[in-house]
Amino acid sequence: MKNRCLGNAFVDLHMKGKILLVFVGISTILISSRTAQAQERVPFCGSDVVTRQLAEKDSTVAQAIQLDLEQLTNLAQNPDASKLFKKKAVVTIPVVFHVIHNYGPENISKAQILEQMEILNKDFRRRNSDTSKTRSIFKDRAVDCEVEFKLATKDPDGNCTDGITRTVSALTYGGDEDVKDLIRWDYKTYLNIWVVERIDLTIDGATLAGYTYRPPSTNEKIDGILVDHSFVGSSGTSNTLTAGRVLTHEIGHWLGLLHPFTDGCGSNCQTTGDYVCDTPPVAANNVGCPSTVNSCSNDSPDEPDNHENYMDYTNGSCQNMFTAGQNTLMQFYLSRTQYRGANISSAAITKSGITISNPCAPKADFQITSDLNRICPGGEVTFADMSWNGDVVDRVWTFEGGSPSSSTFSNPSVTYNQAGTYKVTLKVTNSKGESSITKEEFITVVPEEADLKSPFLETFESEFTPSYWGAEVDAQAYGWKIQAGPSVSGSKSAVCEIDANTESGARYNLLTPNFDLSAHKDLSPILSFRVAYSLRTAGAGERLVVYGSKDCGENWLALKGLVGASSLYSKTGNNPGWKPSSAADWKVVEVNLDQHGFADSKNLMVRFEAVSASGNSIYIDDVNVDQFALSVAPSQLAAGIRILPNPSNGQFTIHNQSVSSSIHIEVTDANGRVVRTLASEGNMDRVIHLNQSGIYFVRITGDGFVKTERIIVTK
């Protein structure tokens, strides 16, 4: 007998051209490769481990699961069970879709959700067009479950809704259970379905794409279904292989069903397997669209696998039925108010408003159709109306600084000719009301010539700001940030935080501000920086790729690539969780900017792209653009010169503790203009006074070294 799969979740991921299915005891998940190319699905079962872990954490869950199995045995042994729970009328379950998005493809359309609702209702009422494919041996037991689903028209506060909410959050990228804390409606009234970009929960290294909890192990904080957007409906962003049957399968589990292959062939349909005797035992899940498979011969009469059953793993286009026994089990849970009975009560029907038509006023929202809201003068931006909750009849856009300055189109294109930062407003209206939204400082048009001039130095002593450096961090806080401690100059550095739990292949970008290289025209400017990295385990390791753009990020060209095991590492060996602890742990990387016509650019951006291999973090410091590269090792002389405080209100002290000979001090503003020139004798402190707020650069030249440091004046 195979291990019993109590809760049953299954996952698939792309590996060597195949789909791997991983079973999880807490839930059930249907998944397909994100490429939607693979046709073969190979099962992995890990639900026995996860179920044990869940029960070990919560004894009430263990007790509930055991009690549930006893109830299912009693139900299977009762010849009149189907009469006990037969409903006199079709029951309807209120549904709400919570779309958690960051303005990507996961923000699926209302049409895709309505298509999914239509699929659900046809499947559970056996009105799907492919019922003719049910083989004759199973036709008599294939039933109309008399369960329907309707989108709510009232939210928990009685406000108008179309049964779809939309929440902007980075948690869409693998936030998993935390997503449910963003928004949840009363689970005893609504079936909550959360739609996300991806799920990062892993079992034995396999990434899940959606899951739910069966009634005995659920509660108000976890109840509902979490699903990857590509498994909703059968069009739009959906994987067509599943034909919209993923949520049919998931709701089957939400209503209490198990897989027909639970326990493999088992020993007795009343005490093992899925506890449903009219679903023949199955040794292991079926995949694809088999013609006839009979994997178990211990049933009497000996019948083939019911591979067209929604609770198997065959392709969605090959599934078309629930059995009478499965319907009895679902009706059992629908008859219990402590389980799903509350969802079909008169109170739930009234509260959710599913019996009334309740058109709503729209809620305004919008986004641009590309990732770029930082453009060059003359650049064009296309906007998309993403308003929701009610159909938009009229709309008015207002574009500060744009041409045209207003529009009534759904997806207007706007040109911005003058440097500046501009707001955008959208007002939407229908017969039920209106809504407007204004996004301040939404479009940034950089000057033809960047305000920041080379030479340029960043030592990361100040936090990132959107107008100066752009840093990507995901929902799990992996990605670029300023970190105190490991550094070369000052006390901080930039780190792309990565560890063994970071998704392999995840990319995190760090963008410099725009800067003007004209001061170094014909001098072959160099981008140099210090990097610190060590492998976690033997292998290729992380990657760091440097890109440049002179058209405000519309096009990026690679300048240099560093691979962990060959060119990125600065510390030899395999060192899990490593971080630099001394200057010797850093090395200098030089990047020739005299490529792709960048050397004469007056508006250059540089992008550092870190690519995870689930290994170690990457540290960088002292990003420098100049005619000369950083010295290979930080000069002991230069290291003994410090500028404090930084930032300051305009008074800085240059503390010289190491240089006995004279030094030359030059202070330039962000435009490259020299604003102060000083000389100092050896081992002497000098004070600098600056009257205007802004960013300045102090270049200190001595015998055998040059030190440049960025300082900030805040008034």
In angstroms, the CA 450 to CA 546 distance is 20
Task: Tell me the C-alpha to C-alpha distance, in Å, between residue 461 and each of 428, 495, 622, 645, 692.
Answer: 44, 13, 10, 11, 20
Q: Which two tokens stand for residue 128?
A: 């799907």
**Residue 437 corresponds to which amino acid?**
I
In angstroms, the CA 634 to CA 552 distance is 33
- 180: helix, strand or coil: helix
Q: Which two tokens stand for residue 166?
A: 């939309």
CB contact set of 424 (below 8 Å; sequence gap of 6+): 366, 383, 397, 398, 399, 400, 402, 438, 439, 442, 443
DSSP letter, residue 309: B
Q: Concatenated DSSP letters for 401-429?
A: TEESSEE--SS-EEEE-S-EEEEEEEEEE
- 665: helix, strand or coil: strand
Number of neighbours of residue 372 by Cβ within 10 angstroms: 16
- 581: helix, strand or coil: coil
Closest to 524 (Cα-Cα) out of 625, 666, 632: 625
Q: What φ, ψ does residue 130 adopt, rounded to 5°? A: -95, 20
CB contact set of 139 (below 8 Å; sequence gap of 6+): none
Angle at alpha carbon of residue 294, lines to 291 and 295, rounded to 5°: 125
Q: Which two tokens stand for residue 186?
A: 């009363």
Q: Which position has the token pair 């023949």? A: 280
Q: Which two tokens stand for residue 375?
A: 């453009």
List the end-to-end C-alpha distance of the chain, in Å, as a whole number: 76
- 106 assigned to active site: no
In angstroms, the CA 620 to CA 546 distance is 12
In angstroms, the CA 598 to CA 111 distance is 46
Q: What φ, ψ does residue 52 adopt, rounded to 5°? A: -65, -40
Task: Tell me the C-alpha to C-alpha distance, in Å, between residue 427 and each of 315, 398, 407.
Answer: 44, 9, 11
In angstroms, the CA 223 to CA 228 distance is 17
In angstroms, the CA 307 to CA 311 distance is 9
Closest to 553 (Cα-Cα) out of 374, 379, 417, 693: 374
In angstroms, the CA 22 to CA 199 distance is 14
Query: Taking a C-beta distance cutoff of 8 angstroms, is the pair 374, 512 a contact?
Result: no
Catalytic residue, from 197, 250, 472, 503: name it: 250
In angstroms, the CA 328 to CA 276 distance is 9
**Residue 182 corresponds to which amino acid?**
L
Q: Where are the beta strands (DSSP E) in 446-542?
A: 452-453, 456-458, 470-471, 479-484, 492-497, 507-511, 515-516, 526-532
Q: Where are the beta strands (DSSP E) in 213-264?
A: 225-228
Catalytic residues: 250
